[in-house]
Amino acid sequence: MKKFIFMFLIIFSITTFSKTTINEILKNIKKNNNYNSSFQISTMKIEKNGKITSSMIFESYSKKINNNTFQLMKFTSPSRLTGTSILSKNGNTWYYNKRTNRVRLLSKSAKNGNLMGSSFSYDDMDFDYEKDFNSILLKEDKKYYYLKLVPIDKNKKYSYIISKVNKFNFTEELIEYYDKNNFLYKKLEINDYTKKGNYLIPKTMKMTDIINNKSTYIISDISTIKLNINIKNTLFSEKNLKK
């Protein structure tokens, strides 16, 4: 009986430690971008079979409102896309097409589609590890934590993702996406960050669609980044997309 109790306490301690550890890791990851609001200009480049096929420039705005992060992307180049906007808030995504002058609320299945023909999905631009996933610590080595994150919403295209987290600054350097058959079909690489105040901002992100041999780069113009600035809530309204 004493042996059983002793073994139970060991198992309980290991389980409690692991749970605490994963929570601490997630909170530290969040600290890197836990600002109240932001603005920046970025370039999105799409590469197919080793050749750049298209390039776009967009402004991005974010703001925390009622403990939720609202995000807005407004494309400024090329001219055919100027004014096209994507709004994400409260788990919903709206797409405004300047040419048709139409605002469309995307369905859950549509959010799995390619954002502006890129390797990113609309869904990739809007999730919260703590709120949207069940997470476990798979393993760790001297430099990295490896996390498995399973989405609570089963309508996601991916069955789970694996995140490789730097132990020293809690930045994610690699995120792998696995489908329902445990097949790796997409990966996000982030190899460089810049420090802005107390935050670490990715300078370049590369999303690779392994199946279609297509990659998308999002390159931030570091000089344009502004954090904790005054942004009106009305900027994130569906009606404002047409302005």
Count of domains for the chain: 1
Helix (H, G, I), strand (E, B) or coil at 156: coil
Q: What is the pLDDT of residue 128?
A: 81
DSSP for residue 20: H
Query: Is 68 among the domain residues?
Result: no
Find the domain containing 209 and state its range: 2-34+42-58+92-223
pTM: predicted TM-score of the whole model, two decimal places: 0.87
Q: What are the Cα distances from residue 231, in Å, to 124, 204, 221?
A: 23, 25, 20
Q: What is the pLDDT of residue 200?
A: 95
DSSP for residue 231: -
Query: What is the CATH number for 181?
Result: 2.50.20.10
Distance separating alpha carbons of residues 21 and 77, to the nearest angstrom:
43
Amino acid found at 31: K
Query: Is 157 among the domain residues?
Result: yes
Residue-level pLDDT, tens digit, the chain, 243 residues: 444 444 434 443 334 444 458 999 999 999 999 999 999 999 999 999 889 999 999 999 999 998 889 999 999 999 999 999 999 998 899 999 988 899 999 998 899 899 999 999 998 887 788 888 999 999 999 999 999 999 998 888 899 999 999 999 999 999 999 999 999 999 999 989 999 999 999 999 999 999 999 999 999 999 999 999 999 999 999 988 987
Query: Is 6 among the domain residues?
Result: yes
Distance separating alpha carbons of residues 159 and 179, to the nearest angstrom:
5
Distance separating alpha carbons of residues 157 and 54, to the nearest angstrom:
25
Query: Is 72 among the domain residues?
Result: no
Query: Is 10 among the domain residues?
Result: yes
Distance separating alpha carbons of residues 120 and 87, to the nearest angstrom:
15
